[in-house]
Amino acid sequence: MPTKMQQIGKFGEDKVKENCFCPSCKISELTQSGNPTSTFKLLSDGFKCADIICDFCGYLAQVKTKTVGNVDQIPSNIRGGSWPTFKKRIDAGIFFSLYLVLVSKDRKTYAIHFLPVELQQVEMFRPRPPLKPPSRREGWQGFNYDLSIVKTSFVCIHEHK
Ligand SMILES: [Zn+2]
């Protein structure tokens, strides 16, 4: 059984795939019924740096999903993954555009916000202290995205109400 966090993550990734066209090549493919569909494909959980890839041009992006009270309001903080994994990429100057999917608790309302890579700032990635005992993952270190400094740089690209 996937955890609640994994389920909500999958919900967000599916919504981006359904509703967003690749910002790099802007290609859309046609379904058999003639409707335009996105070129995005979901990457597997074991893939570290990104969550979706454009099947046409290879564009990579991250997708973060959060349950919120107001899907129009960018939260100040969202959870990232493993800090050492992410820090290596920061040090190498490698960043990815971010799709932020904000979802209401009943999942009936959601909005997809986009923060392109060129508008991100290194200061928005904040390491958390390593986990302490009695945590089963003692020593594991995650990070948060501090979105308060880039709030106004997000563009809302899809809304479902
Ligand atoms: Zn593309």
14 Cα–ligand 1 center, Å: 17
161 Cα–ligand 1 center, Å: 27
d(CA 49, CA 89): 8
pLDDT, residue 1, reads 67
pLDDT, residue 74, reads 98
SS3 category, 24: coil
Q: Is the Cβ–Cβ distance between 152 and 146 less than 8 Å?
A: no
40 Cα–ligand 1 center, Å: 8
d(CA 155, CA 134): 41
28 Cα–ligand 1 center, Å: 9
38 Cα–ligand 1 center, Å: 9
21 Cα–ligand 1 center, Å: 8
Residue 26 tokens read as: 């802007």
53 Cα–ligand 1 center, Å: 8
146 Cα–ligand 1 center, Å: 28
Q: 93: phi > 0 → left, psi -120 to 50 → alpha, else beta; which?
A: left
Q: Is the Cβ–Cβ distance between 23 and 38 less than 8 Å?
A: no
Q: Which residues pair with 101 in a beta bridge?
A: 65, 112
Low-confidence ranges of the chain (pLDDT < 70): 1
The pTM assigned to this predicted structure is: 0.92
pLDDT, residue 33, reads 84
Is CATH 3.40.210.30 the classification given to domain 4-160?
A: yes
DSSP assignment string, 84-140: HHHHHHHHTT---EEEEEEE-TTSS-EEEEEE-GGG--GGGEEEPPPP-TT-TTTT-
Pairing of strands 52-54, 40-42: antiparallel
60 Cα–ligand 1 center, Å: 9
Q: Is the Cβ–Cβ distance between 143 and 129 less than 8 Å?
A: no
Candidates 47, 52, 45; CA nearest to 3 is 45
154 Cα–ligand 1 center, Å: 20
pLDDT, residue 57, reads 96
